[in-house]
Amino acid sequence: QLPAVPSPRALPPRAQLGYTTVPKFIELYTTGLPSKLEAPGTDPSTSLCTVLASEIGQLNEVIEVWRHGNGSSAMEASRAASRAAGPWRAAIAEIAGLATSFRTTVYKPTSFSVWK
């Protein structure tokens, strides 16, 4: 089991081109997020650190960074719980139509990281 690991998930690393793609993504994400955060079974050590959107470089990139303090088991429990959250599932179904790819990456913090 991993120690307190922040888990960046890129949703989506690449989205369809267009000026309205990222704002639509954020609108959908914002609508579904409360049900994901409050889903029964979510590990209490799981928290959303930030959601970022690119302005320069790779266009239409949105990255969410989650911290799963109890490691990979917390990540899996929280992901399973979110799948039962109706508003989140509806939002993700629409977000998937905006995406050209999705990626999940797990990182381990360095010894000098603020996340331990």
| Mean pLDDT of all residues in 12-35 | 83
Please check the confidence at residue 79 and state whether its pLDDT lies above 50: yes
Q: At a CB cut-off of 8 Å and minimum separation 6, what does 86 contact?
A: 35
- pLDDT (0 to 100) of residue 15: 59
What is this structure's pTM? 0.78
Q: How confident is the model at residue 76 (pLDDT cuts 50, 70, 90)?
A: very high
Q: At a CB cut-off of 8 Å and minimum separation 6, what does 93 contact?
A: none
- pLDDT (0 to 100) of residue 115: 77
Token representation of residue 12:
């989506």
- pLDDT (0 to 100) of residue 88: 96
- pLDDT (0 to 100) of residue 31: 97
Please state, rounded to an integer, the average pLDDT across all residues of the chain. 85
CA distance 22 to 106: 24
- pLDDT (0 to 100) of residue 2: 45
